[in-house]
Amino acid sequence: MKEIICDTNIWYDLGKGLIQKPKNVKLIATWVNIIELGFSHPEIKEKLNPDDTINAAKAILNYSDEIIEQNAFAYPCAKVEKGVELKSQPSILSILKDIADTGLPSNSTYHTHKYRYDYFIDMKNNFADTYNREKRNIRSKEIYNRARKESFKKSDSAQIEEHVLGLLSDIRDYLNKEQQLEIVFPDDDSFHRTLETIKIQLECFIYTRQTFAKKSILEKNMKIQPNDFFDLLNLIYVGNDKRYWTKEKRWITSIKEAKMEKYLYN
């Protein structure tokens, strides 16, 4: 049976009745899906339709065959550090159940927990700001003429290595700050084996992110948007037998441009 990681918009479409759950597949919801729904509120999303969000939460509860509650940095830890045992984290399923049963949080509840919403928004905005700032730096300092631009276009291998190192750094930061654990590499061979494991086990995320970032740098008018943060993070759950279901053309295109179309469902 095919295992399918779903883009959050798939749950919205299932909730609206625009699509039906496919037969003979296992639909999987992720921490990313739950967090995106949980932090939906009219106070921070002008065009939000509360009924759509409620129905999306119900769709996850009704149609998902599995829910991965591990966040996007905890999930790949076992792939990077064999035998690692993570402390259990509080279940976040109550977020979905509360939305499905009683609707979105009231305005008073929103204001009481506003700092959480602000942190969520800041995290997405910081991602976009950092990417767009880095884009400006690279365009002005590294690809300022045709020759340098052509060289950058051909530097995929080096860019891939940078993204692998970046993800390893994020995983180590998560383990250190949230789990009080540290990955120790006894020698260079162990370190490089870990990098190769990340590249293989998380190739859909790594290669799509690299392709997407490269394209944004080369295309002057393309800007990274805050919502791209969670769209990219959701690809961390894709791999091995898990495929990805999205109807967003920009991500279908990016995944295909990264030559990772084998992971696309439909």
> Per residue in 96-145, pLDDT tens?
999 999 998 888 888 888 888 888 888 888 888 988 888 888 888 777 77
**Can you tell me the distance from the alpha carbon of 36 to that of 223, in angstroms, rounded to the nearest whole number?**
21
Does residue 259 carry a pLDDT above 90?
yes
Q: How high is the pLDDT of residue 207?
A: 95
Q: Which residues contact 138 (CB under 8 A, 6 or more apart)?
A: 152, 217
Does residue 45 carry a pLDDT above 90?
no
The 10 Å Cβ neighbour count of residue 175 is 20
Q: How confident is the model at residue 253 (pLDDT cuts 50, 70, 90)?
A: very high
218 in Cβ contact with 257 (< 8 Å): no
Range 40-55 average pLDDT:
87
Using one digit for the tens of pLDDT, what is the confidence trace for 110-121?
888 888 888 888
Q: Which two tokens stand for residue 248?
A: 């967003």
State the pairing for strand pair 66-68/2-6.
unpaired
Does residue 248 carry a pLDDT above 90?
yes
Q: Which two tokens stand for residue 247?
A: 């109807």
User: What predicted TM-score, i.e. pTM, was given to this entire model?
Assistant: 0.89
Q: Which two tokens stand for residue 228?
A: 């791209």
Q: How high is the pLDDT of residue 106?
A: 85
CA distances from 219 to 64, 99, 104, 216, 253 (A): 38, 40, 38, 5, 15
Q: How confident is the model at residue 190 (pLDDT cuts 50, 70, 90)?
A: confident
The phi, psi pair for 97, rounded to 5°, reads: -65, -40
pLDDT cut 90: percent of the chain above it:
41
**Can you tell me the distance from the alpha carbon of 129 to that of 140, in angstroms, rounded to the nearest whole number?**
17
What distance lies between CA 146 and its chain's CA centroid?
33
CA distances from 161 to 77, 125, 166, 170, 198 (A): 18, 25, 8, 14, 10
Which position has the token pair 């700032």? 133
Mean residue pLDDT of the chain comes to 89
Q: How high is the pLDDT of residue 127?
A: 86
**Can you tell me the distance from the alpha carbon of 153 to that of 221, in angstroms, rounded to the nearest whole number?**
17
Q: How high is the pLDDT of residue 111?
A: 85
Q: How confident is the model at residue 87 (pLDDT cuts 50, 70, 90)?
A: confident
Q: Which two tokens stand for residue 20?
A: 């039906």
Q: Which residue type sits at 114? A: K
